[in-house]
Chains A and B, each alone.
Chain A
């Protein structure tokens, strides 16, 4: 009987396991293998083992510059998401009650559910020269210079923050609303001012949610390519867009593979470096 139960347990997971092997494990392994090829293996042109692709990253400033740009994009977008999202979650969790809270939460989630590409596209109409922002400005201040920022770095940041801020609101909201009111009352009764209670009680207890939000935002932003392309134009060249090019325009898959693993490696290093700092704090929750 015990044996049978065990077999059921394994049997139920087999499909998911096989599926993830075919779509995640084997592809990533093959991509890793590809990143050590000297060239694209097409026809009878033989590819040999080579560190050339990785070497080009270290030889050419261009790739290192782009990697830095992608990381900074991740930092900027994540920063603004925290700046905008955390207060919103705090207000929703602690100041707004009842039906309003549910309604606003739903409104925050709704667009998040609709197509990301379309939302990025929508910004082009707001940000472009003579777009909504310009029109509004000229209506108030006729003759003012154009403030259209489409095809610039700020446009990319605005679009990505718009795309990802709901993640931050949701993860922070979940951990903020789980804080027991009595803890905050206890903090106040012990003489803590509003700011002290926030700093010593609310912030530490909601930190796990905040960090989950940071991870959920930082990783996809660092690897983004569609948003920088549409909103950044030539200013939107990132490591992601260069990787995209290797697969869709240049057909240098080994280089694309190597750049992908460099990107993964950099992200892994960042989180590995941050982990010891955060480990103790996360134990609270």
Chain B
């Protein structure tokens, strides 16, 4: 038995190494003086200094944040509404919506993005941050509806029925019972939505007009143009930031889906 246990832990350590080594290498290179990642390693903050002066990246970064915040709010609100309707008001039309939730998950994002490019271009919606917002929300919606829906499902309708028998009108029931009870699910869904938007490269890439970029689009452009350690610096900031955020959140929200 002991042998199996040792083997298990050994295997997990190898797995974590596989997952983390490239990330650590990239982070380290952001502090290496050589622009061609030459060794020996010489510590330097030069790339962070250059990053501080890189207006294009900063503008892309602020676009990403604004977009992610807006997309999170919209996706969480309309996704929660839809999840509520689907969980508590059973009706025929919902089957159609349920089918519509599949494409954002089951069709490669490349195809969704290019089809949106065609449609937006010819329908007059055009490209730009608003088009990206449309796309980001669409890709987040299924996740929000699934996560919030699971939470609603796990409580059933009894709590709301009880609230009604106790004299609460539908609005009181929603604000005093339903919303507080599903709040952890809504928060998790919001986090999902934020992550999907902030990391979103594919749709942003196709829907960005010249001169308007987000961080992932800008990073992709830089990588294709040639390596630049500034990208390591900004990537390090993004990775550390998002991991910290998730680590903090996971303190409050259990992953396994337990209450």
Touch test A–B (CB under 8 Å): yes
A-to-B contact residues, CB < 8 Å: 5-6, 8-13, 15-17, 19-28, 30-31, 34, 84, 87-88, 91-92, 95-96, 102, 104-111, 113-119, 121-126, 130-132, 135, 162, 165-166, 174, 177, 215-216, 219-220, 222-226, 229-230, 240, 243-244, 247-248, 253, 256-257, 260, 263-264, 267
Contact in complex: B111, A264 (CB < 8 Å): yes
A5, A8, A13 interface centre (most CB from chain B within 10 Å): A13
Residue contacts A-B, CB under 8 angstroms, 21 given: A9-B90, A9-B94, A12-B84, A13-B85, A15-B78, A17-B97, A27-B118, A27-B119, A31-B118, A31-B119, A84-B15, A110-B243, A111-B243, A115-B239, A118-B219, A121-B219, A122-B235, A215-B106, A226-B220, A247-B117, A253-B114
CA distance A95 to B86 in the complex (A): 38
The tally of CB-CB contacts under 8 A between chains A and B is: 250
- State how many angstroms separate the Cβ of B77 from the closest Cβ of chain A: 8
Contact in complex: B91, A264 (CB < 8 Å): no
CA distance A108 to B4 in the complex (A): 21
**Those 4 A-B pairs whose CB atoms lie nearest each other, nearest first:** A223-B108, A9-B89, A12-B85, A23-B138
Cβ of B231 under 8 Å from chain A:
yes
Grouping DSSP codes into helix (H, G, I), strand (E, B) and loop, the A interface class, with mixed when no group exceeds half, is helix
Given contacts A95-B4, A114-B242, A222-B108, is CB(A30)–CB(B15) below 8 Å?
A: no
Q: Which residues of A contact B220 (CB under 8 A)?
A: 117, 226
Contact in complex: A13, B93 (CB < 8 Å): yes
Q: Which residues of B contact A130 (CB under 8 A)?
A: 38
Given contacts A24-B100, A116-B199, A122-B25, is CB(A31)–CB(B115) below 8 Å?
A: yes
Within 8 A of A (CB), among B195-238: 195, 198-199, 201-202, 206, 215-216, 219-220, 223-224, 227, 231, 235, 238
